[in-house]
Structure 1
Amino acid sequence: MKEKKLNIFISPLDWGLGHITRTIPVVQMLKDRGHHVILGGGRNASNIYKSEFPDIEFEPLPSSAIHYPERGSLIWALIRQMPRFFATIRKEKRKIAKIIRKHQIDVVISDNRYGLYSRDVYSIFITHQLMLKLPSAVKMLERWVYKRHQRMIMKFDACWVPDYARPPYLSGDLSHLYTPSSHVVYIGPLSRFSMGFCEDASAGKIYEVIAILSGPEPSRTRLESNILEQMEKTGKKCLLVRGLPSDTGDLKTPSNIESVNHLPACTLREKILQSKYIIARAGYSTIMDLVAMGRTAILIPTPGQTEQEYLAQYYNQRKLFLCISEKDLNLHEALNQITLYQWNLNMRSCQSLATEVERIEKLLGSK
């Protein structure tokens, strides 16, 4: 019996770049298996996907347009914007219904977009946060928030968690504090650098430091200014990847610093290999990329973003990454300290994603 090729719609959340970039290996695997993939999302998703998969059709989706505070807790800022968040979910539900009819979709894969599901198709939710870390002032509400978060995720047929089911865990409490429901599947880490579609690149060191920025404004710009100033003082060749895939303007930099707005996955991997030291935000997708390459780094959590602050503490305690707050960043001291850190976990290969895709192929192929 000939296998059914599925029409699969994939769309990530557009808060930062990590949700977008970690779907790249999922898209690549589904393409390699002969399925018809349609992509969706906001402006940044459109630009990143077009650079990686120029022939795949793209559907624009509503943006939640969350505004981040210049200071203070991100969680409190998000709470104030909950009405807008739920309005976006309602828009997503209307949009996905149209997309399903237009493309005869069989499977919807949503990375943290809570409105992208339908009873008419197999719906998958991707997240590394089964539980949400709250600020210390309201930490007693974490269990209550967890239960309500699970109700939202249970509307999907499956929840894919990009982490290992057994130690060593990459996400710590975020995916493993509570016993998961039966529809949770740990598919292993997702990295754009781990699927083998990048050609081997020269590993000769060209740059002293590569800084890979991402995340919300205004904290991205604030960190960029700080790093540029400190990179200039090194007097050595450095590379700044600004994390602006939708920006076409050039940034004026000191003579020892190269600057690019964005790099495709394979080019970025090559630049990382050519760099002696790495600076990045403490986002989970960034951590998965670094783990895939077996590289340590200087990680700077986005202020007020409790998930990143937790991950920074989690890895700093294990001496796997050097984690420094934005206000305490001293590049000269950090480069001296990072020599004491190394990625020393033997990360095993994981076929859980392929196994899960095969299960869905059999399930839907039998209908």
Structure 2
Amino acid sequence: MESITHRKRILVAPLNWGLGHATRCIPIINKLIAHNFEPIIASDGFALELLKKEFPNLKAIELPSYNITYAKKANSFKLKLIKDSPHLLKTIKKEKKAIETIVQKEHIAGIISDNRFGARHKNIPSIFITHQLRVLSGNTTWLSSKLHQKIISKFDACWVPDHSGVNNLSGNLGHAESYKTPVKYLGPLTRFKKLDLDIKYRLLVLLSGPEPQRTYLEEKLLKQLKSYKGQVLFIKGQVEAEQQTTIEDNITICNFMTSKALEIAINESELILSRSGYTTIMDLAKLEKKAFFIPTPGQFEQMYLAKKLDSEGVVPCSKQDKFKIKMLDKAKDYSGFNSIESEVDFNALFEIFRA
């Protein structure tokens, strides 16, 4: 086998917006290693910390932070994004300069960017991962989708973590006609496997996402769960230096879990209560779980996915301000997820980096 010093180095750069972009890069990183590449991780914040814990032996580099936060009120979400856009554009410029330095210093042979707009280089293959070929933004969807497509067109290829056919998870988000950039469908990306384990928790609460909405939901759920009967595992989604666990009556509370522990926890849980983030949907589909979704207020993508799965009879949902713990009983009338297996030829997929 080639020594690691002669392996081609691939920079894997997920966006730090919740944990989903980082976690769905985990199977990609593992496949790169299995195909004799040397991944280097680049991100910031919780996303970077999570990947450093998952891959302590890989080099990790901090990139400029987009500092994406949500408005306190859902109806101010779009306005806040517009207000923050000058900062975002400046950060992307800083990111591009940082990438140029990293490519030269670390002898990078290719880049895989999960929604980091500046993580590309004109002289090496640069791949963009997204499940949003269409970016929903209400009455400006046409504009946000066009702008997103323009950004993606600067990359050499676009990888979509979903099935290409009608039995897909992303719906209108990940399927668009006449796309300029070459699009390849990978099938859902997840770090988890379905395990045959006894049920330990009646409910698993799985939080993630930008502030302040993550904290708002955490506080709301902890209050309501005081009257809940049955064992509860509550994972806050806050990646810190050490894992911390506390037990309050029937509720076990963790700040975060690494992949293996979380894989076991989800398999041991009867029902999952979480945001309707796309990575969470891919994970729960693989593990064939029942769930209840509370989309992040103001985030059109999560609202669309939650409504889609509710209308299909797969997973019920509720707005955050309307949610009551008794609503979880609705889940028994929904089918839950069924996994659709897919095989990806990663050897062919990674050929772009061998050229």
Q: Same fold (TM over 0.5)?
A: yes
2:117 matched to 1:114? yes
CA drift at 1:44: 1.2
Counterpart of 1:339 in structure 2 is 332
**Aligned-partner SS, 2:22:** helix
User: Contact (CA 8 Å) 2:294, 2:319: kept in 1 or not?
Assistant: yes
CA distance in 1, matches of 2:347, 2:321: 42
Counterpart of 2:63 in structure 1 is 61
Counterpart of 1:350 in structure 2 is 343
Residue type of the alignment partner of 1:113: R
Residue type of the alignment partner of 2:330: Q
Rate the CA distance shift 1:34–1:353 in 2: closer, same or farther, 3 A.
Answer: closer
Rate the CA distance shift 1:314–1:352 in 2: closer, same or farther, 3 A.
Answer: farther
Aligned-residue Cα RMSD (Å) equals 2.1
User: Contact (CA 8 Å) 2:270, 2:289: kept in 1 or not?
Assistant: no
Rate the CA distance shift 1:30–1:250 in 2: closer, same or farther, 3 A.
Answer: closer
User: What do the CA deviations read for 1:80-127 (whole angstroms, capped 9, x no partner)?
Assistant: 111011111101110000100111000011110000111111101111
Residue type of the alignment partner of 2:48: S
CA drift at 1:252: 6.4
User: Contact (CA 8 Å) 1:7, 1:36: kept in 2 or not?
Assistant: yes
CA distance in 2, matches of 1:181, 1:68: 31
Rate the CA distance shift 1:352–1:308 in 2: closer, same or farther, 3 A.
Answer: farther
**Aligned-partner SS, 1:174:** coil
Counterpart of 2:287 in structure 1 is 293
CA distance in 2, matches of 1:205, 1:22: 25
Unaligned runs of 5+ in 1: 195-199
CA distance in 1, matches of 2:142, 2:212: 31
Counterpart of 1:32 in structure 2 is 34
User: Contact (CA 8 Å) 2:14, 2:25: kept in 1 or not?
Assistant: yes
Rate the CA distance shift 1:240–1:51 in 2: closer, same or farther, 3 A.
Answer: same
CA distance in 1, matches of 2:159, 2:254: 33
What's the TM-score once normalised by structure 2's chain length? 0.93
CA drift at 1:190: 0.8
CA distance in 1, matches of 2:36, 2:302: 36
CA drift at 1:341: 1.4
Rate the CA distance shift 1:218–1:321 in 2: closer, same or farther, 3 A.
Answer: same
CA distance in 2, matches of 1:344, 1:13: 27
**Aligned-partner SS, 2:234:** strand
User: Contact (CA 8 Å) 1:43, 1:246: kept in 2 or not?
Assistant: no
Counterpart of 1:197 in structure 2 is none
Rate the CA distance shift 1:304–1:344 in 2: closer, same or farther, 3 A.
Answer: closer
Counterpart of 1:162 in structure 2 is 161
Residue type of the alignment partner of 2:192: F
Unaligned runs of 5+ in 2: none
User: What do the CA deviations read for 1:132-171 (whole angstroms, capped 9, x no partner)?
Assistant: 1012xxx1x3223322221111111111111111121211
Match of 1:220 among 198, 211, 214: 214
**Aligned-partner SS, 1:297:** strand
Rate the CA distance shift 1:201–1:316 in 2: closer, same or farther, 3 A.
Answer: closer
User: What do the CA deviations read for 1:205-228 (whole angstroms, capped 9, x no partner)?
Assistant: 111111000011111111111211
Aligned residues between the structures:
351
**Aligned-partner SS, 2:215:** helix
Counterpart of 1:145 in structure 2 is 144
What's the TM-score once normalised by structure 1's chain length? 0.90
Match of 1:321 among 315, 325, 329: 315
CA distance in 2, matches of 1:219, 1:168: 31
CA drift at 1:17: 0.7
